[in-house]
Structures are given as C-alpha cells and as structure tokens.
Amino acid sequence: MKEKSPSAKEVLIKGALIHNPILIQCAGLCPVVAAATSLKNAALLAAAVSLTTIFTCVFASALLKKIQRWIRMGIYLILGTAVIFPLIFLLESQSKSELSLVLKIFLPLIAVNSATAVHCEQFSVKNTVKLAFYDAVAVSIGSSAVLLICGAVREIIGYSSIAGHRLNIPTTFRSAALPFGCFIILGFLAAILKWISAYRYPNLVADSETIVRVKPKKDEIKDTVEVEVFDEFWNEEPEEAPLEIDEYDEIFDSLDNIFDFSGEEDEK
C-alpha cells in the first residue's frame, strides 16, 4: 500500500519545529557555536544556510533521484560551494568593512553543512520538487531562527549591544559569547521547542517517533523459543486428574524401547 504523501503544512511544521536541524538533529552546530556571536554574524550565517539548503534540496529532488548515494554526496558539496563562494565574494565587494576572521573560516564550511546533506537524503530525493522546496524553506526558517536568537542573546548578554548599537547594560557576562555559553542557550531553546511541539502538535510528534527493531540471529531465536517453552511448561499448573496406571505402563514401555534398563550386558 502506497504511503500518503505529507501535506505542505506538515512538511513546514516538521522541518522548522519537530525536526529542527540544529536543536533536535544537532546538525550544523559548529557555525552556530563558534561564529554566531553577534546578530550581524548570525544574519550572514542564516542567509548562507538558507540559500545553500533551498538550492541544494530542490536540485537534489529534481535531478539526483536516480543517481547513487555516494555520488550524490559529492554533488551536494559542489552545489554548496557554487552558492557560498559567490556569496562571500559579493559580501566582501559590497560591504564597506571586511568580514571578520570567524566568518571567513565558517562561511565556507556551510558548503559542507551536514544539515543540508541529511535533509537531501532523508526527504528531497524521496519526494516531489514542491515538497522538497517546502521542506528546504522550513529547515531554513528553523535554522535561521536559532542562529538569530543565539546571536542576539550572546551579543546582548556578552557585549551589552545589539547590531552594533550600545545598550548600556550595567552588567555583562562575556562567557555568553564563548562556545560553552552558546551550548547553554541552545539547551534552553531545545527544551522550549520540545515543550511547544508536544503541546501544540502532539499528533505530529507521535508520528515522528520511531521504534528501533533489531533482527535477532537464528540461534538467538531458537534459544528464546526454548526458554519461553520451558518457562511455560515449568509455570504450568498441574492437571486436576492424575494419570491412570495404564498410562504409566504405556510410558514405561515406550522408554524400554528406547533405553535398556535390564542391566544385562550384551553377549560378545
């Protein structure tokens, strides 16, 4: 029986909330933790992630379904590079100030972002171009929201500013701008997201849960069956009516045919 294809609403909700690539699937954490230290950096990373994800997922759904998986992984890298490097060139040529060293390091890494490859393999190559586009948009929204929240919170708490404007907060915590501070923020965001998903969309969360079944070996199946049969026999209550004497005689006669209880040695 052919499975029913998901609706556009379900794809958007699952991609952005229930299967959030950063908070739930823990994909693409490195740029978030290391580079999203301000709102400006987070916005640039969000734009790069969105463009790469949408372009690669749509291309994979349209043209890469019949290509072997190990070849597709290399094509994802080429597609990501084709998007990221022109974007970096455009930012450096149009921007009045040069990109920070952190962005110069982690923007190219988005070309090999694991979140893009995961969604291409799990969804895009198995569905239509339309659903692949919706999934890519949802993933981009979910990733961008996490990046922007982390960048804004870290800049406000760590540097007492937002988008480069001073806020004059009397007390700042520079540790929020460090990687372990970002992990704390991500932990709180993941807990909030799980609560919202379970409260707002319980049916979609239940459908997304998977049960891992391990196929046992033949010997394990045999041992399991023997143990279950033995336990069933051992725990079985005795019958109310005992065996008759004739039934005992029949049992002993059958045993005599199998084993020799006479004790006499065979003549040589």
pLDDT in tens, 68-79: 989 999 999 999
pLDDT tens per residue, range 149-169? 999 999 999 888 888 788 888
DSSP for 98-124 reads: PPPHHHHHHHHHGGG-HHHHHHHHHTG
Q: What percent of the chain has pLDDT over 70?
A: 74
Tokens of 181: 């501070």
Nearest to 253 by CA among 261, 263, 242, 241: 261
**By C-alpha distance, which of 134, 117, 144, 126 is closest to 12?**
134
User: Residue 128's pLDDT is what?
Assistant: 92
Query: H helices within 95-217, ranges in order?
Result: 101-109, 114-122, 129-159, 179-200, 202-208
Where residue 54 falls among pLDDT bands split at 50, 70, 90?
A: very high
Sequence spans of domains, the chain: 8-208, 218-258
For the whole prediction, is pTM greater than 0.75? no
φ/ψ of residue 52, rounded to 5: -65, -45
Structure tokens, 242: 């005992």
DSSP state of 203: H
